[in-house]
Structure 1
Amino acid sequence: MRAPVVHHRTRRRRALRRRALWTGGEVLVTVGVVLMLLVVHQLWWTNRQARAGAERQVQALEREWGTPSRPGKTAPATDPSHLADPGDGSDDGSEDGSGDTSSSSSGGQERRAAAGTATVNTTGVHPSWSQAYAVLRIPRLGLRVPVAEGVSKGDVLNKGYVGHYKGTQQPGRAGNFALAGHRNTHGEPFRYLNRLRSGDTLTVETKAATFTYVVDKTLPQTSARDDGVIRAVPRSTVRPSYGYTDPGYYITLTTCTPEYTSRYRLVVWGKLRSMRPR
């Protein structure tokens, strides 16, 4: 019987194919590991780093103001009774053609708060770009986070801070105090903003005073270019049935939605209830 003959050229081709397959497998494994490390960095490390930095900034502000630091805890409410990267009925913050959900008592509270702002410098500072100058506390979310001037990603939002829209009002002033924060990665302070409900309280503390706002309405989704939601009298230009028609003392919180995208914005509005000078 004649033995098969294997030419050297055939052997070389087989060896080259094996080497190519091995090299391709190594490349795919390396790419997979790199992608996995990038995901870990984006979803875990940036959060860890930003949260630690934001907490240090809160503590620094409290030391500057002479307020004892309370790591991991939120301050109690004063009264117990193109946007940057965020049921029905007026009571839960959904559609309301009139945009006026305040009762006579809440109107009185707003007037008393407004009267208080006339006698105190409500911010205590004139913040420069990217400067942290206030602390936002939301008890329902277990959140306390520094507020900085501007909504730059690199200088503000990616540090785990909440950013103040330049051109909107400062806390306690008539008009709209509008803020933005990341929903995912980089500290994600507004990750659970959708859990806020009508009647929840949140506070904004500055060098001069602490302001308590009450959540009033929620706009679940709007365009990233819907700048009507941060105007002095906030009202959506995309969904006009959401918002207000009368001047007041408002706070606006914005973040991306759905999670892990930046296509739309989630908006929560609140009204000033009280002001407590330092």
Structure 2
Amino acid sequence: MIESPTRRTNRASRRRPRPRVSVLGVLGELLLTAGVLVFLFLFWQLFWNDWVVRGEQNDRGSQISREWDDQASDAGHDDPIIPEQPDDGEVFAQLRVPRFGEDYVSQIAGGVSKAVTLDPIGLGHYPDTQMPGEDGNFAIAGHRNTHGAPLNKVAELQPGDAIVVETKDGWFTYRYRNTEYVQPSQVDVIAAVPGHPDEDPVDSVITLTSCNPFMSTAERIISYGVLESWTPRADGPPAALTDGVEG
């Protein structure tokens, strides 16, 4: 009796040894899967989550501005109205920087702790520094990545760029001057006269502090601006916000 080709093929197939599963192969697949999951987590944490939170903070900022508009009186104020020192986590102002985007706005609250201010709100005011409009240094801190990354584009500032601090009474317009990079221990950058803690201030400046390089805490990026003008809320937003970015 002659076997058919089909039967011979089936019998041969049954006799073939099954491929062995090696420990190294399984470990490699697990590591590959873990790598993909880590990459997806980092993408979500550093990019997608920031886009979502940044959008929420922009929307919240617009809502706060509308509330302040509704509360404002028709009377203008020629002299700047200096906000009172805030409590930790108390929102008292907002930062608007045309260079960071037309819709950009980030809330500023008292204190610079991550848990109370920087992570949930955005920007924090160093308690021992001056308030916006005062002679001295209005110093604030914020993240460059994660939690909405309010100072993500701080390294892109160009001389003369507007840095506008909005309060319920109006807007303080500062003009960006320069940036320096320092060690985390160099706290004199937030002195009343930055870098010169023993001198008395004669100018009103703003100091933006964040970590550097990007996604690192090895040093700090420090950006300065000098007060140019005060605009009462009754007069509407300053030209720095309505004219857009030059250059």
TM-score category by the smaller chain?
0.7 to 0.9
Give 1:1-278 correspondences, 5 Å limit.
Answer: 18-66=21-69, 116-117=79-80, 120=81, 122-123=82-83, 126-142=85-101, 143-159=104-120, 161-219=122-180, 221-235=181-195, 246-278=201-233
Paired residues of 1:51 and 1:160 also in contact (CA < 8 A)? no
Alignment correspondent of 1:87: none
* 1:209 Cα offset (Å): 2.2
Q: Using the alignment, how far apart are the partners of 2:41 and 2:156 within structure 1?
A: 29
- 3-state SS of paired residue (2:119): helix
TM-score between both structures, scaled by the size of structure 1: 0.66
TM-score between both structures, scaled by the size of structure 2: 0.74
Q: Using the alignment, how far apart are the partners of 2:44 and 2:187 within structure 1?
A: 32
- 3-state SS of paired residue (2:230): strand
Number of equivalenced pairs: 207
Q: Which moved more, 1:184-193 or 1:261-270?
A: 184-193
- 3-state SS of paired residue (1:66): helix
Q: Using the alignment, how far apart are the partners of 1:130 and 1:25 within structure 2?
A: 47
- Output the amino acid matched with 1:264: E
- Output the amino acid matched with 1:24: L
- Output the amino acid matched with 2:210: T
Higher relative contact order (CA 8 A, sep 6+): 1
- Output the amino acid matched with 2:147: H
Q: Which moved more, 1:22-31 or 1:168-177?
A: 22-31
Which consecutive unaligned segments of at least 5 residues does structure 2 have? 1-16, 71-76, 234-247
Q: Using the alignment, how far apart are the partners of 2:131 and 2:201 within structure 1?
A: 18
Q: Using the alignment, how far apart are the partners of 1:53 and 1:172 within structure 2?
A: 28
Sequence identity (%)? 37
* 1:130 Cα offset (Å): 1.2
- Output the amino acid matched with 1:216: R
State the Cα RMSD in Å: 2.6
